[in-house]
């Protein structure tokens, strides 16, 4: 059976919470489906940190004469990441061909088994990594992540243009960190606007899959609690993907 659907979680802008969104969507889908995560963010892999498995290593097995990684299982999700391989104290310095080769090898060298959904946590930018994923991994859909910052929206428009050029369907976008939740009463905090917010919906012209607030549960990687914030996104996506 293999992998039924591959979903790329992407944004050209770094720091918009793409990895957190990817982890929470995967966790939401894992309640009713078999799910995996490929952490393709070569520059700064984070999925092993979000799931608290940074001190573990995937087992290497032999399949048909080839060495394969067995993905680590956390919260019923199969995970493989360059974070298991890279030195956490050093910056990853990759040229284009090395970057593309690493992503492809990580995907092909992992014994994923049968999955309903494989979520790919993409690196920021719009370069070689996107082309590699599009041509070699062939996602069925992409989900974009942005904030209400004008800079994030402008870079997300670039992501949209690139995915369309690569003929990868866009399921929509998630507006992340759109508000704040009080850690004491769990109500939305009335925030004074020190900077002007922009409306991603009008500028991106894509389906809005959800607005996600800032919360302590997200900050502290409490997936069971924070995934409740993604239920409406999950309910929309399960009818699209």
Instruction: List the pLDDT tens digit at each of the 241 positions of the chain.
Output: 699 999 999 988 888 999 999 999 999 999 999 999 999 887 778 999 999 999 998 888 888 888 888 999 999 999 999 888 765 545 454 555 556 677 888 888 899 999 999 999 988 877 777 777 777 888 999 999 998 888 888 988 999 998 999 899 999 999 998 766 666 666 676 665 545 667 787 788 899 999 998 888 888 899 999 888 999 999 999 999 8
User: Do residues 108 and 38 make contact, with C-beta atoms less than 8 angstroms apart?
Assistant: no
How far is 99 from 81, CA to CA, in rounded Å?
14
Please return the burial class of 140, using the count of CB atoms within 10 Å of its CB with bins 0-12, 13-18 and 19+.
middle
What's the DSSP call for residue 185? Answer: T
Residues facing residue 35 across a β-bridge: 77, 117
117 within 8 A of 35, measured Cβ to Cβ: yes
Q: Encoding tokens for residue 201?
A: 């919906």
Q: Which domains does the chain have, with CATH numbers?
A: 3-237 (3.40.50.300)
Which tokens sit at 172? 């929509």
Q: What DSSP character marks residue 227?
A: G
């Amino acid at each position: 059976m293999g992998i039924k659907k591959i979903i790329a979680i992407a944004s050209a802008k770094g720091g918009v919470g793409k990895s957190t969104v990817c982890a929470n969507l995967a966790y939401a889908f894992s309640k009713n489906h078999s799910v995996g995560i490929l952490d393709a963010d070569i520059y700064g892999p984070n999925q092993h940190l979000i799931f608290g498995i940074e001190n573990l290593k995937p087992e290497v097995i032999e399949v048909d004469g080839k060495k394969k990684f067995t993905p680590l299982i956390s919260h019923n999700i199969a995970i493989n990441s360059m974070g298991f391989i890279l030195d956490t104290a050093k910056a990853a310095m990759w040229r284009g061909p090395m970057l593309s080769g690493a992503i492809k090898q990580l995907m092909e060298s992992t014994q994923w088994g049968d999955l309903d959904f494989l979520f790919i946590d993409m690196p920021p930018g719009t370069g070689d990594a996107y082309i590699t994923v599009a041509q070699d991994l062939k996602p069925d859909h992409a989900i974009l992540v942005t904030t209400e910052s004008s800079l994030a929206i402008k870079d997300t428009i670039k992501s949209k243009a690139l995915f369309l050029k690569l003929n990868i369907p866009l399921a929509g976008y998630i507006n992340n960190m759109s508000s704040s939740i009080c850690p004491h009463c769990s109500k939305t905090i009335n925030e004074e606007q020190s900077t002007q917010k922009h409306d991603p919906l009008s500028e991106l012209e894509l389906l809005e899959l959800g607005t996600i607030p800032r919360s302590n549960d997200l900050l502290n990687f409490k997936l069971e609690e924070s995934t409740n914030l993604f239920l409406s996104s999950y309910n929309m996506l399960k009818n699209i993907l």
